[in-house]
Amino acid sequence: MRKRLLTWFSENARDLPWRRDHSPYRVWISEIMCQQTQVATVLPYFERFLSTYPTIRDLANADENQLMRMWEGLGYYRRARSLHASAKKMAAEHEGEFPDSFEDVLALPGIGRYTAGAILSISRNEAFPILEGNTQRVFSRWIGLTTPPTEKIAQTRLWELSDKMLPRKKAGDRTNGPAGFNQAAMELGALICSPKAPKCDVCPVATMCHANQLGLQAEIPGKISKVQYESRTEIAVVISQAEKYLVRTIPEGVRFAGMIDFPRAGPPEAEDVIGMESWLAEHLGGDVTIGMRLKTIKHAVTRYRMTLHIHLADLAGPNAGDNSDEEHGPLPEPWRWASIDELADMPMSVTGRKIVRLLDRPQRSLFSEI
């Protein structure tokens, strides 16, 4: 089975940048970026990221705002903060080099058993098993495991299988060693052994696969509880003053913490427009009047199906002026005024960036959409 799989991989592997240069740093960045994100989406981000931060020390010394701006659009922003924290840890404790031992890699922020094993296996051809979405499905089908892979007994079984399948006699040979096998198993899951309608007719190991032999491809892996999405409606407001817009740095403990956003809230803080006015007045120390709706955006965030209503609004009171102008009272932290040009360099969520693009259009174009 290994021989067939590795032969197939040598002929069908995708040409990915972290496979051309498999240094631990590049493999680490690719593994973090590819968590819950498709490879096609990651590719342009990966190239820009490595061009801006070519070494661990460059990443450790990165400006956090610039780093988050580089990550913008990839989602799950905690990953970027974990990368930054890990780079700082490596600069301080490992002389700016990627650690050698599994324990030291596992101690880095945002890295678990799978990621640590994947980095050391792919970059250094070390014999560490890996188990992620693709390989759990592939291995489950190979052995005809009908128990859902999320269950503890199945996880134990699959980790054991992953370990036993690793080649060890040719550990010095990347192509036929652990690096080749682990990548081949993941590639098989990505290209052939898909969740629905797997391409068993072109699978190199179909004749050895229990699910294929028993016709159980549709039942394996066992049913995994799907995320129950919740509907949520939020309101964002656009308040302008002297060609600048009111924004804030999102505080810790709130979605998109550390990023810049327009005033935005939802239940329980703001059930409706009136609640949003009260919430803003409390935060800003001035009266807020919400006006016409500019646009509605529907999108998804983690377990939510979001509806975002974007409104124009006016702010009146002691803090209505520019917080950088001594003639006006300062805005309370973390609020500020920012121009379109300034916002272009600030890290924002996808919907925050959409609001910026909406405001950056010619006025006639903007109001034609209302």
Known catalytic residues are: 31
What integer pLDDT is reported at residue 364 of this predicted model?
Answer: 41
Is 256's pLDDT higher than 60?
yes
When pLDDT is averaged across residues 111-126 and rounded to a whole number, the result is 95
Strand-pair partners of 335: 248
Beta strand 230-238 with 304-316 is parallel
216 Cβ contact list (under 8 Å, min separation 6): 141, 144, 146, 210
Is 328's pLDDT higher than 90?
no
When pLDDT is averaged across residues 180-207 and rounded to a whole number, the result is 96
Least reliable range by pLDDT among 131-145, 309-323, 333-347: 309-323
Residues 301 and 227 sit within 8 Å (Cβ to Cβ): no
Phi, psi of 333 (to 5 degrees): -65, 140
288 Cβ contact list (under 8 Å, min separation 6): 237, 239, 276, 277, 280, 281, 313, 314, 315, 316
DSSP per-residue codes, 165-194? HS--TTTT-TTTSHHHHHHHHHHHHHHTS-
When pLDDT is averaged across residues 325-340 and rounded to a whole number, the result is 74
Is 318's pLDDT higher than 60?
no
| % residues pLDDT > 70 (the chain) | 92
What integer pLDDT is reported at residue 369 of this predicted model?
Answer: 47
The domains located in the chain, with CATH, are: 2-214 (1.10.340.30), 230-368 (3.90.79.10)
Is 225's pLDDT higher than 90?
no
Cα 128 to Cα 163: distance, rounded to the nearest angstrom: 7
Cα 293 to Cα 310: distance, rounded to the nearest angstrom: 6
Run of H or E including 201 = none
**Which of 77-81, 169-173, 254-258 reaches the highest mean pLDDT?**
77-81
User: Residue 148, Cβ neighbours under 10 Å: how many?
Assistant: 17
Query: pLDDT, tens digit, for every residue of 9-62?
Result: 999 999 999 999 999 999 999 999 999 889 999 999 999 999 999 999 999 999
